[in-house]
Amino acid sequence: MRAAVITAPQTVEIQEVALPKPGPTQVRIKMEGCGLCASNIPVWQGREWFSYPIPAGNPGHEGWGVVDAVGAEVKTIKIGDRVAALSYHAYAEYDLAEADAVVQIPEILAGVPFPGEPLGCAINIFKRSDIQAGQTVAILGIGFLGALLVQLAKEAGARVIALSQREYSLNVAAETGADELIKLDDHYQIIEKVKALTGGKFCERVIECTGKEWPLNLSGELTAERGKLIIAGFHQDGMRSVNVQLWNWRGLDVINAHERDPKIYLSGIAEAVKAVTTGRLNPQPLYTHEFSLENIAEAFQLLNNRPDGFMKALIKF
C-alpha cells in the first residue's frame, strides 16, 4: 500500500509499504480519508524530541473508511462496514484499529466525510464545559474546533462571543451563530470590550482553543467569578506562565478538557454521529480543502500557514 512518511522536518515521501494484517481483535480499514490536525504541526515542523523518519502513516489519527478485513475474534464489526476509527497511522491507504475502537457510520451519511476523532473531541469538550442556556460563553480561537463549539454552545441556548486573530475565522464564527465578534489583538482593549458586553460580569464559560500562552492568560481575565475556564487548546511547545492569583481570587474552575481514555473518545464520536445526522452539528462547511495523498506536503504547509479561506483540510483516497 501507499503511505505518507515524514522522513525529516518538512519533508514527506509517499512510500510503498507492506499491507498490514489485522490481529485477532483488530479490523483493517480501507481509508476513505483522514483529517489534518493542528497537533501535527510540531512533528511536521520538527522538534528535538522527535525521531525521523516517523512511522508510515503517522500522525494521521482522524481517519474513516470501510472495513475490508477482520480478525478471527471480531464479532461486532463486519467487512463492508463504514466506520470512523481511533487509529494512528491513517495517512495511508489502509490502517488497523481495535474492533472496539471504531464507530459505525450510518447509511444516512453515505459519501459524507467523517473525521470522527475531532468531531468527538468537540462533543467531549462541550460536555466538560457544562454550558447552560442563558450563559455568556467566550470561545478563543475559531479554527475547526472553535467553530464546532460555537455551534454546540448556540444550540444549548448560550450567548457566544467569538474571538480570533483572522478576519476570515470571525466571519466563519458569525456564520455558525456567534453573537459577538472580537479580534484577538490588544489584550486590554479586549478585556474592556468583553466587560462592556457583559455588564462588568464577564463570561460564565470561557473556552480557550488556541494552545498559546497569551490567549490562555486572556481567557482567565474574561472568566466571571466562579466561572469555568476550559482549556481545549493543545499546549505542546513549552511551559506556561499563568496568573494563578487571578484564578484564585475569582474562584475559577479550570478544566483541562483533553481526554485520554479511549472509551470517552469513542463515546464522543458516537454522539457526534448522532449530532451530525440530526443537524445539531454541521461540520460540512468547515471542510475547506481536500488533497490527495500525493499532495500531503502541500496540505501540511497550508495547515502550518492557515491562509484566508482555510479551516480544515482532508486527505482523500
Are 303 and 313 contacting, i.e. CB atoms less than 8 angstroms apart?
A: yes
**Axis crossing angle, helix 213-222 with helix 187-197, rounded to the nearest 10:** 30
Examine residue 264 and state whether it is found in any structural domain, yes or no. no
Could you tell me which residues are beta bridge partners of residue 7? none
pLDDT score for 238? 86
Q: Give the number of C-alpha atoms closer than 13 A to the C-alpha of residue 316, restricted to the C-beta side.
A: 11
Q: Which stretch of 100-109, 156-165, 230-239, 294-303 has the lowest confidence by average pLDDT? A: 230-239
Q: Are 23 and 145 within one domain?
A: no
pLDDT score for 217? 98
Q: Are 78 and 144 within one domain?
A: no
Examine residue 307 and state whether it is found in any structural domain, yes or no. yes
Please report, for the domain that includes residue 93, its CATH number: 3.90.180.10
Q: Are 126 and 90 within one domain?
A: no
- Give per-residue burial for 91-103: e unless 16+ CB within 10 Å, then b: bbbbbbbbbebbb
Q: Are 106 and 190 within one domain?
A: no
Q: Are 221 and 169 within one domain?
A: yes
pLDDT over 90 at 237, yes or no: no
pLDDT over 90 at 244, yes or no: yes
Whole-number Å distance between alpha carbons of 66 and 174: 35
Q: How far is CA 137 from CA 55, 123, 273, in A?
A: 40, 16, 24
CB atoms within 10 A of CB 289: 17
Length of the chain: 317
- What is the amino acid identity at position 169? S
Could you tell me which residues are beta bridge partners of residue 229? 206, 254
Q: Are 135 and 59 within one domain?
A: no
- pLDDT-based confidence at residue 166 (cuts at 50, 70, 90): very high
Whole-number Å distance between alpha carbons of 92 and 237: 27
pLDDT over 90 at 188, yes or no: yes
- pLDDT-based confidence at residue 196 (cuts at 50, 70, 90): very high
- pLDDT-based confidence at residue 219 (cuts at 50, 70, 90): very high
| Domain extent at residue 289 | 2-115+283-316
- The predicted-structure confidence for 42-68, as pLDDT tens digits, reads as follows 999 999 889 999 999 999 999 999 999
CB atoms within 10 A of CB 32: 19
pLDDT over 90 at 149, yes or no: yes
Structural domain count, the chain: 2
pLDDT over 90 at 276, yes or no: yes
Examine residue 263 and state whether it is found in any structural domain, yes or no. no
pLDDT over 90 at 137, yes or no: yes
Among candidate residues 256, 274, 306, the one where a domain is terminated: 256
pLDDT score for 143? 97
Whole-number Å distance between alpha carbons of 84 and 82: 7
Examine residue 98 and state whether it is found in any structural domain, yes or no. yes
Q: Are 205 and 165 within one domain?
A: yes
Examine residue 271 and state whether it is found in any structural domain, yes or no. no
Among candidate residues 237, 256, 275, the one where a domain is terminated: 256
pLDDT score for 161? 99
Please report, for the domain that includes residue 240, its CATH number: 3.40.50.720
- In the predicted model, what is the mean pLDDT of the chain? 97
Are 30 and 100 contacting, i.e. CB atoms less than 8 angstroms apart?
A: no
- What is the amino acid identity at position 224? A
Q: What is the pTM of this model?
A: 0.96
Q: Are 123 and 104 within one domain?
A: no
- The predicted-structure confidence for 89-100, as pLDDT tens digits, reads as follows 999 999 999 999
Examine residue 274 and state whether it is found in any structural domain, yes or no. no
pLDDT over 90 at 159, yes or no: yes
CB atoms within 10 A of CB 90: 32
Q: Are 107 and 218 within one domain?
A: no
- pLDDT-based confidence at residue 135 (cuts at 50, 70, 90): very high
pLDDT over 90 at 141, yes or no: yes
Q: Are 49 and 89 within one domain?
A: yes
pLDDT over 90 at 236, yes or no: no
